[in-house]
Amino acid sequence: MSEDHKKQLEQQLWNIANTLRGKMNADEFRDYILGFIFYKYLAEKMEIYANKILKEGGDTFLFSEIDENTATGQEYIEAIKEESLEKLGYFLKPSELFSAVSKRGNHNEDSTESDRVAEDTTETYNTKDNFILEDLQKILNNIQNSTMGTDSEEDFEDLFEDMDLNSTKLGKSPEARNEIIAKVLAHLDKIDFKLENTELDVLGDAYEYLIGKFASGAGKKAGEFYTPQEVSTVLAKLVTTGKKKLKSVYDPTCGSGSLLLRVAKEVEEVNNFYGQELNRTTYNLARMNMILHGVHYRTFDIKQEDTLEHPQHLEHRFEAIVANPPFSANWSANQLFMSDDRFSQYGKLAPGSKADFAFVQHMVHHLAENGQMAVVLPHGALFRGSAEGHIRKYLIEEKNFLDAVIGLPANIFYGTSIPTCILVFKKCRENPNDILFIDASADFEKVKTQNMLSDANVAKIVSTYRERKTEDKYSYVAPLSEVAENDYNLNIPRYVDTFEEEEQIDIENVATQIEDLAADLKENEKLIASFCKELNIKTPF
């Protein structure tokens, strides 16, 4: 698919999403539109797989043509269901397919009218004949129910719980709600997601585009579920340096799962994906995102819980770890954690008002001996003292795990303008005698009110890290002895001097210029005075 075609698909989906914009806020209509796209994906995936089974069995009809009301039809459905649950992890009947529901909801509509991407939502439907709300809610529940007692049950549990089709936010009356939903389904039904071409991830890219669009308009809450794509790319390239395949990748604050998926784009293969997310709605979004990107339900394990208080993957060690934790979040800092293997060896806990280093300790605990991790933190984590200074010193002096410190521009994260940094850790470092410092804070492009890393900015950060080079006013390879002399303060200006001397001013030359200007001014005043006298008007001087 060409880049133009991809952008066209993204714009189509965004236009459809906007049919709900007037009804609710960005967070709410995000959950509905992404949920409907996910339902369409599941249905089309089911249909493609079922048609393949029928063709291999020598049948000439399609899955959508099976009559569910006959004994023969039921036999086909049961046989396909068994294989589908094993292969896909879920099952939909022919009558539950997206296209079938869309047709039922719009069968009275003029074809030319349903082809139009709706901006006006005031038109009326014959709701007696095409009322689909109850059926649609049952179908979404049935997708989850089909997985009961199977290996995929946890991965599909309550996936559609944020899609309340009876919410008055969709419309005051059932008829109004039916109208808007039928309209959205109709326009989605006309879009070809190209799922039969397994080489393309068209829908996955479009889904990521929509998540990013919603994040850009969600203000402070965006940080709960989305890391800007260019920052994700930097993190992913850092932890995959020198790797072509990964046994595992982990994100302890995985949000929508975009960071995990970005890591997968940097290597040929990832065997297993692991993540944990506190927010229930975002946890649902992460699982949808995984499935929609073609990650098999057996190869991802995403849990919903508080990562620091109730870690869900303690027995695992991961080859790659990435994270953008909530900046300076609160946590319990309960003294009972001093006997927790994640924190006990440090002798101190991160303060309750700033959990930044608690996340770092958690991630280091999960890092495999051959692993690499990259975490985004607020700048304060580089130099704050007390317990944080103690933990920082232990990680460098005792463990020698810190590999690089990278300063990012301010105002590149949604919802906060603070400057941030990336810390890179490795347990087996190729360069154990130094730490690389990169100051990329001045390298960005301004896009409206947001700063962004360009492709060139990203490439420069990554190449500097991989080549581990010192570049004037940009990067510096600091010996561990120098870091120790600075009492393990990692504030980047201590290591990368970006000071620019101001050009010296020639005072005598400036004075001469002022004298010349004064002389010119007097001459102009005389000229104006002569004009005023000639015109017989008052001179302004």
Task: Please give the pLDDT value at position 112.
Answer: 41
- Other beta carbons within 10 angstroms of residue 83's beta carbon come to 14
Share of the chain above pLDDT 90, in %: 67
In tens, the pLDDT along 136-174 reads 999 999 999 999 999 999 999 999 998 989 888 888 899
Q: What CATH number should be reported for the domain whose range is 3-211?
A: 1.20.1260.30
In tens, the pLDDT along 343-359 reads 999 999 999 999 999 99
The owner of tokens 């990013």 is 212
Give mean pLDDT, residues 179-194.
89
Give mean pLDDT, residues 430-442.
96
Where do the CATH 1.20.1260.30 domains begin and end in the chain?
Answer: 3-211
Where do the CATH 3.40.50.150 domains begin and end in the chain?
Answer: 223-494
Q: Which of 168-177, 311-320, 490-499 has the highest mean pLDDT?
A: 311-320
pLDDT confidence tier of residue 113, bands split at 50, 70 and 90: very low
Task: Please give the pLDDT value at position 541.
Answer: 67
**C-beta separation of 146 from 92 below 8 A:** yes
Task: Please give the pLDDT value at position 108.
Answer: 62
Give mean pLDDT, residues 64-80.
95
Instruction: Give phi and psi for 528, each to the nearest 5.
Output: -65, -40
Instruction: Give phi and psi for 319, each to the nearest 5.
Output: -80, -30
Topology classification of domain 223-494: Rossmann fold (3.40.50)
Instruction: Report the predicted TM-score, pTM, of the whole model to 2 decimal places.
Output: 0.85
Q: What is the mean pLDDT of the chain?
A: 88
pLDDT at 114 over 50: no
Task: Please give the pLDDT value at position 218.
Answer: 57
Task: Please give the pLDDT value at position 31.
Answer: 84
Instruction: Give phi and psi for 92, each to the nearest 5.
Output: -130, 140
Among candidate residues 448, 451, 492, the one with its CA nearest the CA of residue 474: 492
* Number of residues assigned to the chain: 541
How far is it, in rounded angstroms, from Cα 458 to Cα 435? Answer: 20
pLDDT at 110 over 60: no
Going from the C-alpha of 24 to that of each of 10, 29, 134, 403, the distances in angstroms are 21, 6, 21, 46
Q: Which residue would you say has higher pLDDT here, 399 or 23?
A: 399
Q: Which of 4-8, 213-217, 266-270, 500-504 has the lowest mean pLDDT?
A: 500-504
Task: Please give the pLDDT value at position 26.
Answer: 65
